Amino acid sequence: MDRVIKINWELISSDKELKKTILDWCEKNSEFDIERRDILRLLDRHSLKPKTIHTDEQCSLYMLEVQLPGKDFYGIDTHWNLTFGFSDCGHLILFETNRIYNQLTPQFYDNFLKKDLECSIAH
């Protein structure tokens, strides 16, 4: 079945939710049911390009790293780093998610630091 629904990556707030969303999109019950073609199709449908691709012929591994936009965390800009590892025959054997926090946004300063400063001066 051709999947036309796109995932809004910026609404996902946890690793567990991210993995579940990808599983649901791929229509799989377990992350070990996912194949390389499922992830490549996911990237293609969302117009994403892999950040890095590694192949280790000695261990018969194919590693794919992807960077996705993430939901702001209390005004801190974030993104997701996904790492997929596939066996030589295309089965998923590694699925890691890491949330990376970028620099503070002006909203963080306005919402938190400025309020704390005003509260401490008022008391």
Residues 61-118 have pLDDT tens digits of 999 999 998 887 777 778 999 999 999 889 999 999 999 888 776 776 676 666 655 6
- For the chain, what are the domain ranges? 9-122
Asked whether the beta carbons of 93 and 63 are under 8 A apart, the reply is no
Predicted confidence band at 2 (pLDDT cuts at 50, 70, 90)? low
**Once rounded to an integer, what is the mean pLDDT over residues 39-68?**
91
Going from the C-alpha of 80 to that of each of 25, 32, 33, 96, 105, the distances in angstroms are 17, 20, 22, 10, 17
pTM listed for this prediction: 0.77
